[in-house]
Amino acid sequence: MGKTGSLGRPPGAWPHKPVVNDNHFRGSGPMGLRRFCKTVSLFGVIFLGVNFMGNLLLRRLDGRKADNPVHELKDAYFAKNAGQYNAVFFGSSLTYRHINPRVIDDELREFHVRGFNFGSPATSNPEALYLFEDFIEKLPPSSAVRYAFIELTDLARINPLNQFSPRSYYYLDFRYLKFIVRYFFADSRLDGMTKIVSAYPYVQGYFLNNFLLAKPTQARMLGRKYLGKRKDGYYGLDVDLKENKSRELLDRRLAFLRDTSLLAKRIPNKKIPVSLAFLNPVYLEFLNGLLSRAEKKNVELYFVIPPRLPGYHALYPLKKCIRGGRVIDLSGYAEFYLPALSFDLVHLNSAGADILSACLAGKLKLKLGAGR
């Protein structure tokens, strides 16, 4: 027998009698079940409703904040210096670390191009598409921006480790959710299960973003060094490593140096003919829609296919079908797959970035010249 001191009775081995909440209706059988389901459903509807309305209100007060610290830094800087730039580049680290506006400005001097790099790490499509749309929507009529470039890649899959991170879903409204789900289900490369598995984290993210009250977070302001030396948004990886001595970057660099042969697997096989069977009509429709939105704000939008992607089957058909031929393909140049110009498996170093930027500028010059 245990003691019955002031810390409570010792337990028995058998189940306790279920606790009865005095305020609850004591129903049993079908009646009780119906009442239970009604009560739970009512609570659920109120819970979701309060959260939904709360999020709407918070967004009206706060604006739709991008939970993306590098982008927030660039957004804030651009807002104060918008008059200096007439070309913007959106995308992931494949933009952030590769597109050097200084090189592009020099090459396109005759077109008076002055670029700002809005690229940020882990900002693949659809997030980059959203950030561009948000940018275009907020662009005043008096803006100097005339050219915009978005990195063209397949829509990214949310890594299971990031599925509960607001960064993965902060931008998801119903329109984007519908686009993303339709995109995956229209992707002819995927089997049924993979389509569901790919789309599901976005569905979950949409739910979390809209039906769970946003957690108050403090804005993280990064240092201005992430804008790059010329404060044009470009920040090479090797420069980043030198200045910040990040362990993670060093590990990536060393891992790449241990076996650079993996780079060869990233070179696209040009011998395989482009098949329109891989064209994703949902993606095409969305991208053409972006073109129209940009045109309404007098902005010429181009899509840039970067090098070193794992696959290009679904991107090359888009190149053929996007309205106005507004695609610049940088994937096929051997230089962009040289170890000497690489920082790691996915990224170029500063020298490689300069060559890529010059190549991009050259192709753009042709297009701009043809347009005149």
Is 265 a binding residue for other proteins by CB under 8 A? The answer is no
Among 157, 167, 195, 266, binds other proteins (CB under 8 A): 167
Among 16, 60, 245, 265, binds other proteins (CB under 8 A): 16
> How far lies 288's CA from each of 98, 148, 239, 294, 323, in Å?
25, 14, 36, 10, 6
Is 32 a binding residue for other proteins by CB under 8 A? The answer is yes
Among 82, 134, 196, 204, binds other proteins (CB under 8 A): 204
Among 236, 344, 348, 356, binds other proteins (CB under 8 A): 344
In the complex, minimum distance from the CB of residue 35 to other proteins, in angstroms, rounded to a whole number: 6
Among 45, 50, 56, 366, binds other proteins (CB under 8 A): 50
Is 114 a binding residue for other proteins by CB under 8 A? The answer is no
> How far lies 255's CA from each of 102, 237, 345, in Å?
30, 15, 9
User: What SS3 string covers 56-99?
Assistant: HHHHHHHCCCCCCHHHHHHHHHHHHHHHHCCEEEECCHHHHCCC
Is 218 a binding residue for other proteins by CB under 8 A? The answer is no
- Contacts (Cβ under 8 Å, ≥6 apart) of 359: 330, 333
Q: Hey, what are 218's tokens?
A: 């403090």
In the complex, minimum distance from the CB of residue 274 to other proteins, in angstroms, rounded to a whole number: 27
Q: Kind and range of the H or E element at 53?
A: helix 29-62
Is 313 a binding residue for other proteins by CB under 8 A? The answer is no
In the complex, minimum distance from the CB of residue 325 to other proteins, in angstroms, rounded to a whole number: 29
Q: Hey, what are 206's tokens?
A: 């949409």
Is 166 a binding residue for other proteins by CB under 8 A? The answer is yes
Is 193 a binding residue for other proteins by CB under 8 A? The answer is no
Distance CA 315, CA 305 (A): 8
Under 8 Å between Cβ of 336 and 308: yes
Structure-derived torsion over alpha carbons of residues 68, 201, 188, 177, reported in degrees to the nearest 10: -70
Give 22 or 191: the residue with its C-beta nearer to other proteins: 22
Q: At what angle do helices 192-211 and 174-186 cross, to 10 degrees?
A: 170
Q: Hey, what are 130's tokens?
A: 């959203």
Contact segment (CB under 8 A) with other proteins among 44-52, 264-272, 280-288, 292-300 equals 44-52
In the complex, minimum distance from the CB of residue 80 to other proteins, in angstroms, rounded to a whole number: 26
Give 86 or 350: the residue with its C-beta nearer to other proteins: 350
Contact segment (CB under 8 A) with other proteins among 16-24, 140-148, 191-199, 261-269 equals 16-24
Is 310 a binding residue for other proteins by CB under 8 A? The answer is no
Q: Kind and range of the H or E element at 208?
A: helix 192-211
Considering only the C-alpha atoms of the chain, give the largest distance between any 2 of them, rounded to a whole number of Å. Answer: 96
Contact segment (CB under 8 A) with other proteins among 8-16, 71-79, 281-289, 349-357 equals 8-16
Contact segment (CB under 8 A) with other proteins among 173-181, 225-233, 328-336, 339-347 equals 339-347
Is 35 a binding residue for other proteins by CB under 8 A? The answer is yes
> How far lies 228's CA from each of 90, 213, 350, 361, in Å?
16, 35, 12, 20
Is 18 a binding residue for other proteins by CB under 8 A? The answer is yes
Residue ranges binding other proteins (CB under 8 A): 2-3, 5-11, 13-16, 18-30, 32-33, 35-36, 39-40, 43, 46-47, 50, 67, 92-93, 121-122, 159, 161-162, 164-168, 204, 208, 212-213, 215, 248, 252, 344-346
